[in-house]
Amino acid sequence: MKTGQIIKSLSGVYRVEVDGEQFDAKPRGLFRKKQITPVVGDIVDIDFETHAEGYIQHVHTRKNELKRPPVSNIDVLVIVMSAVEPDFSTQLLDRFLVIAHSYHLSPRIVITKKDLTNETQRAEIERLLAVYQRIGYDTQFVGKEDDAQAIFNEWQPGIAVLSGQSGVGKSTLLNSYCPELALETNSISQSLNRGRHTTRHVELYPRANGYIADTPGFSALDFDHIDKQDLDDYFIEISEASEQCKFRDCSHTNEPKCHVKAMVEAGEIADFRYQHYEQLLQEISNRKVRY
């Protein structure tokens, strides 16, 4: 029995790295009966039928997990947005951040395609990123001229997952960091202002202080697992301000003596962030119950 980490999953076969060696393994038949599905990032125990192939006998407890795409034991979720093509959207960024926090992940923000922006566009994105920096997020605004090694080396050690909508440059970033991967990239659909999916499976690639995962791009974000009373926990500055609200269950909408709304009016909480909170709260409140 050996212990290793799943670094690739494709068609029911898992590539497991054990002490620098890689092996293909399949899960035990019992896993299906127990509804256990190994995912990339899992620490697993494997038994070998041959030197090259084995069976996964046990999946260790995960410290966190992203459901879509399925990756576990993530140390940093790198939310990749583009400055243009598709255009930068704080609303979309905030939705990604909410998803990240709801899964107990540590997000960082990377904005790509700086080289395609003009001076006015750059200034506006830097102004918006300053808002996120004040909240406490690590941010990077990068272009083709930036060294990919330097970009990646700023990220926390361990498993870093690249996430974001299609066409923002996730695979391009990976290609510039590790050219031998030659990952497929595609052009942007002008009518939809988004890219076509080019990554079709989840795989971990080695980096200086851990692994990096390229993941299929998101076309939709699912908030079904989030309760409306928990939403303010996923907006850092709203969560901090809510401790001084008069009512413990304050929704920060119509209640009197709401400290969050007072902070928004004073300019201490960005108005656009509060609007995105309100929109998501309404969306979750209007959600139909699934049976």
CATH topology of domain 2-59: OB fold (Dihydrolipoamide Acetyltransferase, E2P) (2.40.50)
- Structural domain boundaries of the chain? 2-59, 65-214, 231-286
How high is the pLDDT of residue 120?
97
Show pLDDT as tens, one digit a residue, over the chain (291 residues): 899 999 998 888 899 999 888 989 988 877 877 888 899 999 999 998 766 678 999 999 999 988 767 889 999 999 999 999 999 999 999 999 999 999 899 999 999 999 999 999 999 999 999 999 999 999 999 998 898 888 988 899 999 988 888 788 887 888 888 776 655 554 433 333 334 434 457 788 888 888 988 665 454 577 888 999 999 999 999 999 999 999 999 999 999 999 999 999 999 999 999 999 999 999 999 876 654
What's the CATH number for 231-286? 1.10.40.50
Residue 201: half-sphere exposure toward Cβ, Cα within 13 Å: 14
Domain 65-214 in the same topology as domain 2-59: no
With beta carbons less than 8 A apart as the criterion, state whether 54 and 48 touch: yes
pTM here is: 0.83
How high is the pLDDT of residue 205?
85
CATH class of this structure's domain 65-214: alpha beta
Query: What gap in Å lies between CA 200 and CA 288, rounded to an integer?
Result: 31
Q: State yes or no: 167 annotated in a binding site.
A: yes
Q: State yes or no: 245 annotated in a binding site.
A: yes
How high is the pLDDT of residue 195?
40
Q: State yes or no: 164 annotated in a binding site.
A: yes
* Residue whose C-alpha is closest to residue 105's, from 75, 132, 125: 75
Q: State yes or no: 252 annotated in a binding site.
A: yes
Q: State yes or no: 178 annotated in a binding site.
A: no
Residue 19: half-sphere exposure toward Cβ, Cα within 13 Å: 4
Query: What gap in Å lies between CA 198 and CA 206, rounded to an integer?
Result: 20
Q: State yes or no: 166 annotated in a binding site.
A: yes
Q: State yes or no: 168 annotated in a binding site.
A: yes
Q: State yes or no: 113 annotated in a binding site.
A: yes
Q: Helices (H), strands (E): how many in the chain?
A: 8, 15
Q: State yes or no: 8 annotated in a binding site.
A: no
With beta carbons less than 8 A apart as the criterion, state whether 237 and 271 touch: no
How high is the pLDDT of residue 287?
79
Query: What gap in Å lies between CA 158 and CA 172, rounded to an integer?
Result: 21
Q: State yes or no: 258 annotated in a binding site.
A: yes
Q: State yes or no: 170 annotated in a binding site.
A: yes
